[in-house]
């Protein structure tokens, strides 16, 4: 699969993951949006954070490509407007993603505290969508995501830790056959991608196996 084919395949998968999350968002009443979710946040907080990350990533891609659309975005997102803002962020991102093949492969796009190559932009957004869905603590769990989307989530969090010198010295092996050596290597962590993703995002150990105790990781934000 060439570079352009990979981007469009990732975009298609992002669409599927977003549709599943959209089905949850549209069902949330104002009262449910105020319900507590992961890390002491409300469901509203978690969804709005995803929306703002989407807008930010759109702006970063547009800046890199020289594209300057005039989007009308609210300064604050009211409870009643969460679904509309969520869909707007997705539509704007899809438009920006269509511009990614025009960028040189070594272009660096700053997003929060990480730098992304064009081929990493859509997987980064997939990771944000999947982790947001998991953090809502709804009936859906990350085990229902596409396996490649779970891998995107793991790689996005590892990328953030590595770029910000926050990685513990560990060796990670998964049931799926993945292997990562962080910080020069260290005690082994073993389990499936789903449990690894949740541990990396909010510290829930789940069914992971640790050769020895590991220091607490920074919370995904």
pLDDT band at 203 (very low <50, low <70, confident <90, very high): confident
CB 176 within 8 A of CB 147: yes
Distances (CA, A) of 157 to 20, 87, 103, 108: 22, 24, 24, 18
Q: Helix (H, G, I), strand (E, B), or coil: what is residue 179? A: strand
Q: pTM for the full model?
A: 0.94
Percentage of residues in the chain having pLDDT higher than 90: 69
The structural domains of the chain, with segments of one domain joined by +, span 3-164
Query: CATH for 3-164?
Result: 1.20.120.450
Instruction: Look over the chain and give the mean of its residue pLDDT values, rounded to a whole number.
Output: 91
99-108, 114-123, 158-167: least confidently modelled range: 158-167
In this structure, the dihedral spanned by the alpha carbons of residues 88, 92, 93 and 95, taken in order and rounded to 10 degrees, is 140
pLDDT tens figures, 168-177: 889 999 999 9
pLDDT for the residue numbered 220: 66
């Amino acid at each position: 699969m060439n570079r352009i084919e990979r981007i469009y395949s990732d975009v298609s998968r992002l669409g599927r993951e977003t549709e599943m999350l959209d089905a949850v968002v549209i069902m949330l009443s104002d009262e449910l949006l105020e319900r507590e979710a992961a890390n002491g946040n409300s469901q509203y907080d978690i969804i709005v954070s995803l929306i703002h990350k989407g807008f930010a990533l759109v702006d970063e891609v547009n800046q890199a490509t020289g594209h300057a659309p005039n989007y009308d975005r609210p300064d604050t997102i009211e409870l009643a407007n969460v679904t509309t803002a969520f869909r707007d962020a997705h539509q704007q991102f899809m438009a920006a993603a269509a511009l990614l093949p025009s960028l040189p492969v070594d272009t660096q796009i700053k997003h929060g505290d990480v730098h992304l190559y064009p081929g990493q932009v859509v997987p980064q957004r997939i990771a944000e969508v999947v982790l947001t869905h998991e953090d809502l603590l709804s009936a859906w769990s990350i085990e229902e995501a596409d396996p490649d989307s779970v891998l995107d989530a793991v790689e996005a969090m590892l990328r953030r830790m590595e770029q910000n010198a926050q990685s513990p010295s560990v060796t990670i092996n998964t049931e799926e056959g993945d292997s990562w050596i962080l910080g020069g290597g260290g005690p082994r962590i073993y389990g499936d991608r789903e449990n690894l993703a949740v541990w990396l995002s909010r510290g829930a150990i789940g069914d992971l196996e640790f050769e020895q105790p590991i220091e607490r990781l920074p919370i995904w934000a």
